[in-house]
Amino acid sequence: MIVDLGNLDKSLAIHTPGQSGQAFHQHYADMVEPWHTIEYHPILWDSKTVKGNTAKTLKLIRTYALVTE
C-alpha cells in the first residue's frame, strides 16, 4: 500500500495472492498475475468515486433473537 497523505486519491495498493489460505479454492490464485507483474490499483477514498465504481452492495442487517430460559 502506498498512501499519499497529501492527496488520498493518488494512493495505490496491491493484493497479495492466497490470503484466504484455502489453496484449492477457485479464486485462490486470482491475484497472482497482477502481484507478479506489480500491477497496483487505486484506493478509492472519495465517496462519489466509491459510488461510481461500486458493482454490488451487501447490506448487513442486525436481527435480534428472543432468548427465553
Is the pLDDT at 19 greater than 80? The verdict is: no
Does 69 have pLDDT greater than 80?
no
Question: What nine digits make up the cell of 62?
Answer: 442486525
Q: Which amino acid is at 27?
A: H
The mean pLDDT value for 29-35 works out to: 86
Higher pLDDT, 20 or 10: 10
Report pTM. 0.60
Q: In this structure, are residues 20 and 28 in contact, taking their beta carbons and an 8 Å threshold? A: yes
With CA atoms as reference, report the closest residue to 9 among 56, 54, 41.
41
Stretch 41-62: mean pLDDT: 92
